[in-house]
Amino acid sequence: MNNMLVVGSLAFDSIKTPAGFKKKCLGGSANYFSLVASRYASVKTIGVVGSDYEDAHIEILATRGVDVSGIERQDGLTFHWEGRYKEDLNEAQTLATHLNVFEKFNPQLSAAHKSCDVLFLANIDPKLQLSVLEQANNPKVVAVDTMNFWIETKYDDLKKVLKKANILFVNQTEALMITRESNAVGAASVLSQFGPQVVVIKRGEYGALLYSKGEYFALPAFPVKNIVDPTGAGDSFAAGFMGHIIKRGLDLNPQDLRRACLEGAMIASFTVEDFGLNRLINLTEGEVSVRFEQYMNTIRIE
């Protein structure tokens, strides 16, 4: 069975949206990704937390079979992001970023981590992404995410990472920043020239755009009526996408890639229905099955 290594942040998020305000809810890219990916595959997680991060918070992943031995606890406070969404729920406004123990995060891979078949590098410093890649033992598939801060401040390092990536996940704003193209279609093609054979541009409530081997695939998002908190939806999408790819034996053929987009978008639609990890923690297989059928009915044209 193919297993997956996830390297990213475990955090507290304080979020204000039109639906309300939530202080210090569980968040972080590694949390969202690991929680979703554990539905599909064997997952190992590397991250760092502070003394304020409770054992019960780590147990949320552990009880779902995630190997949490790579989560390091340090004296100090856990990474804390504060943000808000206004009417446009596709873009978050950062109010404050408290790196805390995450400032000195230096992921070290054990022998078990190094041997993982699939590597997902969440939106951490490209220098750290490169460090993880140098430690890993030739994973079969490397997937990468990034964010506007690293594009602005570590562009050259990011390009080095992309040369080693098989799959790239970015939102539309980030895709345009990296490529300086004027639209997602042009950006996807240019991004593939940086190295990744598969490019996925996440477009929030407008869905996703997939580009691979000269072919495009556009998929609408599942229509969610009451969006509470979009934070983590992109990480959830990536986890559902990668989970499907693993189930299909890591064969990056057009049909499996398209179905992976559908899987990611379907799972991400749950994430936005509550603050933080809450909806994902309480998600049942029955709900997933029902939503899958609803989604298929939404996009079916025959």
**Cβ(87)–Cβ(211) below 8 Å:** no
Per the DSSP assignment, residues forming a β-bridge with 121 are: 7, 144
Q: Are strands 67-73 and 167-171 parallel, antiparallel or unpaired?
A: unpaired
Domains and CATH numbers, the chain: 3-299 (3.40.1190.20)
The tokens for 82 are 């504060």
Give the pLDDT of residue 1.
Answer: 64
Q: Which single residue is written with the structure tokens 């407008």?
A: 206
Q: Are strands 208-212 and 215-219 parallel, antiparallel or unpaired?
A: antiparallel
pLDDT tens across the length of the chain (302 residues) = 679 999 999 999 999 999 999 999 999 999 999 999 999 999 999 999 999 999 999 999 999 999 999 999 999 999 999 999 988 788 888 999 999 999 999 999 999 999 999 999 999 999 999 999 999 999 999 999 999 889 999 999 999 999 999 999 999 999 999 999 999 999 999 999 999 999 999 998 899 999 999 999 999 999 999 999 999 999 999 999 999 999 999 989 999 999 999 999 999 999 999 999 999 999 999 999 999 999 999 988 77
Other CB atoms closer than 10 Å to residue 108's CB: what's the count? 11
Other CB atoms closer than 10 Å to residue 82's CB: what's the count? 17
The tokens for 283 are 């998600």
Task: Kindly state the helix (H) or strand (E) to which residue 171 belongs, with its residue range.
Answer: strand 167-171
The dihedrals phi and psi of 33, each to the nearest 5 degrees, come to -65, -50
CA 200 to chain centre: 11
Q: Tell me how far CA of residue 20 lies from CA of 14, 24, 25, 227, 270, in angstroms.
A: 11, 13, 13, 11, 17
Give the separation between CA 221 and CA 112, rounded to whole angstroms: 36
Give the pLDDT of residue 277.
Answer: 97
**Cβ(170)–Cβ(201) below 8 Å:** yes
- pTM, two decimal places: 0.95
Give the pLDDT of residue 149.
Answer: 87
Nearby residues of 246 by Cβ (< 8 Å), 6 or more positions away: 2, 4, 40, 41, 117, 118
Q: How many CA atoms lie within 13 A of 174 on its CB side?
A: 27
Give the pLDDT of residue 214.
Answer: 94
